[in-house]
Amino acid sequence: MAKPAIQTESRPITEEADFLQIKSIDHIHFYVGNAKHAMYYWWKGFGFKPTAYSGLETKNRDSMSYVLESGKIRFVVSSAYTPTHEIASHHLVHGDGVKSIALEVGNVEKAWKETTARGGKSAWAPREEKDSNGIYRTSAIYTYGETLHIFVDRSDYNGAFAPGFKPIEYEANPTGLAAIDHVVGNVQLGKMNTWVNYYHQVMGFRQLLHFDDKDISTEYSALMSKVMENGNGRVKFPINEPAEGKKKSQIEEYLDYYLTPGVQHIAMSTGNILTTITELRKRGIEFLRVPDTYYEILPDRVGKIDEDLKAIHEQGVLVDRDDEGYLLQIFSRPIQDRPTMFIEVIQRHGARGFGKGNFKALFESIELEQENRGNL
């Protein structure tokens, strides 16, 4: 597990040091028990298009991988052929989960040198992979738990995804999922500020928002969260930790089943959340429901919005407003056997927040799910 950097400088956490110059989230890599099944789930359930494959047919004797894309989102799902492979070991401990969040940068060597000099733990030094399509450059560091941040430069690579992959052609019916809005990490009690400092000192992120246990709590459980973002605001990583409560929080439940810190959920944006959620429900994707009473006070709480309130109620979509606009969001049930990772779908109308006004209702619906699982 990574040993995070400890903040030693006196500069405020809001000060920006955007030395990484991150262009985007290049891809998110899942380690799973069966890559073919996971590919089918994202393809048929969420409307992602499979675009590349690596396996025995591409001379990969260790693992099978599929690349899937929707809008600007790129996921990779991988499983091992043998029980001794690192993917199999990861899956044995964690179940299906995110192994790495890859960030596109202009210079992977500079990114690695800067972050490791600032206290980041190296996963691998800058390296090049080559084939007839060019050069694919990466380096990597550890973040919370066993999760990696991979720095990617594909400016000199024109292949399907990376060396060892071949393009594949699948017809897909998209659901409107367009981009990654944010990726949330769960860490242990008392470790949130450690990882906030890590992202600030090691990666040059700044703190955008802070929610404490007064903001995110119910009668039974609570959590605390701080949102870190990079200099251009394209990459946002909220960090959650549990807070003291009468019963087990969703963060504690996650840690009990994932066994280490890790990615709790991925938020994906859409231009029309009602159309997207209607289609996802048709395909069997399950979402949390908040009590109907939530919608009785919604018009007075959020004011005028463009969407039809009846349709919002029918689909179980949540709405919140901040000084810059409003947002609509909804959260899936866990997407694997263990009650660990889930998906958020979000549509922003100017709002930069994360749905603070929805926290209580959302927590209550999550606690009902926990109670049904016997884990509250």
pLDDT per residue as tens digits for the range 87-116: 999 999 999 999 999 999 999 999 999 999
Give the tokens for residue 300: 């007075």
Straight-line distance from the first to the last Cα atom of the chain, in angstroms, rounded to the nearest whole number: 28
Q: What residues form DSSP beta bridges with 167?
A: 52
Q: What pLDDT was estimated at residue 195?
A: 96
Query: Which ranges in the chain belong to alpha helices (H)?
Result: 35-40, 86-94, 108-117, 192-201, 250-258, 273-282, 293-296, 298-302, 309-315, 359-373
Given this model, what pLDDT does residue 170 score?
A: 96
pLDDT in tens, 50-64: 999 999 999 999 999
Measured CA to CA, the distance from residue 220 to residue 369 in angstroms comes to: 14
How many of the other CB atoms lie within 10 Å of CB of 55?
21
Would you state the pLDDT for residue 235? Answer: 95
Q: Which residues pair with 69 in a beta bridge?
A: 49, 74
HSE, side-chain direction, 13 A CA sphere, residue 173: 8
- Local structure of 15: helix, strand or coil: coil
Strands (DSSP E) along 213-261, which ranges?
A: 222-229, 236-243
- Look-up: residue for tokens 């930069």? 352
Closest alpha carbon to 260 in 93, 102, 374: 93
- Lowest model confidence (mean pLDDT) among 15-19, 117-121, 198-202, 311-315: 15-19
- pLDDT of 364 reads 66
Query: Cα 118–121–125 angle (5° rounding)?
Result: 100
* Mean pLDDT of the 267-278 span: 98
Q: What is the DSSP letter of 236?
A: E
In whole angstroms, how far apart are CA 67 and each of 109, 176, 245, 262, 267? 25, 18, 41, 21, 19
Confidence class for position 10, pLDDT limits 50, 70, 90: very low
**Spatial separation of the C-alpha atoms in residues 109 and 87, rounded to whole Å:** 26
- Lay out the sheet containing 236-243: strands in order across: 206-211, 222-229, 236-243, 177-186, 262-270, 342-349, 325-331, 318-322
DSSP string of 64-110, one letter each residue:
EEEEEEETTEEEEEEEESSTTSHHHHHHHHH-SEEEEEEEE-S-HHH
Q: Given this model, what pLDDT does residue 300 score?
A: 86
Q: Judge whether 84 and 252 are in contact, CB under 8 Å.
A: no
Distance CA 241, CA 255 (A): 10
Rg (CA), the chain: 20
- What's the rounded Cα separation, in Å, for the pair 300 and 180? 30
Hey, what domains does the chain have and what are their CATH numbers?
Answer: 24-167 (3.10.180.10), 177-373 (3.10.180.10)
Mean pLDDT of the chain: 90
pLDDT digits (tens, 9 = 90+) for 285-326: 999 988 888 888 888 888 999 999 999 999 999 999 888 999
Q: Is the pLDDT of residue 239 over 80?
A: yes
Amino acid at the residue 126: P
| pLDDT, average across residues 369-376 | 77
Q: What is the spatial distance between Cα 11 and Cα 268, in angstroms, rounded to a whole number?
A: 33
Residue 13 in this model has a pLDDT that exceeds 60? no
What percent of the chain stands above pLDDT 70?
87
Task: Read off the pLDDT band of 28 (50, 70, 90).
Answer: very high
In one letter, which amino acid is 128? Answer: E
Residue 216 has pLDDT above 70, yes or no: no
User: Quick one: pLDDT at residue 250?
Assistant: 84
Q: What per-residue confidence (pLDDT) applies to 225?
A: 83
Check pLDDT > 60 for residue 165.
Answer: yes
Q: Is residue 75 pLDDT above 80, yes or no?
A: yes
Nearest to 266 by CA among 28, 39, 11: 28
Do residues 97 and 29 make contact, with C-beta atoms less than 8 angstroms apart?
A: no
From CA 372, how far away is CA 266, in angstroms rounded? 24
How would you class 18 by CB atoms within 10 Å of its CB: exposed for 0-12, middle for 13-18, buried for 19 or more? middle
The yes-or-no verdict on residue 166 having pLDDT over 90 is: yes
Q: How far apart are CA 152 and CA 139, in angstroms?
A: 7
Q: Tens of pLDDT along 324-365?
A: 999 999 999 999 999 999 999 999 999 988 766 666 666 566
* Residues 124-150: tens digit of each pLDDT: 999 999 999 999 999 999 999 999 999
Lowest mean pLDDT among 35-49, 88-102, 248-262: 248-262
Residue 267 pLDDT: 97
